[in-house]
Chain A
Amino acid sequence: QAVVTQEPSLTVSPRGTVTLTCGSSTGDVTSGHYPYWFQQKPGQAPRPLIYDTNNKHSWTPARFSGSLLGGKAALTLSGALPEDEADYYCLLYYSGARSFGGGTKLTVL
Chain B
Amino acid sequence: QVQLQESGPGLVKPSETLSLTCTVSGYSISSASYWGWIRQAPGKGLEWIGSIYHSGSTYYEPSLKSRVTLSVDTSKNQFSLRLSSVTAADTAVYFCGRITMGDYWGQGTLVTVSS
Contact = CB atoms under 8 A, between A and B. Distances in A.
B32 interface: no
B45 interface: yes
Contacts of A79: none
Contacts, number: 54
A100 B99 CA distance: 13
Interface string B83-115: 000000000000100010111011110000000
A40 B50 CA distance: 20
B16 interface: no
Interface secondary structure of A, over-half rule = strand
Contact of A102 (B45, B59, B102): B45
Interface of B: 38, 45-48, 50-51, 59-63, 95, 99, 101-103, 105-108
The 3 closest A-B pairs by CB, nearest first: A96-B59, A103-B45, A36-B102
A37 B107 CA distance: 18
Nearest to B104: A48
Contacts of A38: 46, 102
A44 B98 CA distance: 17
Contact of A100 (B38, B59, B108): B38
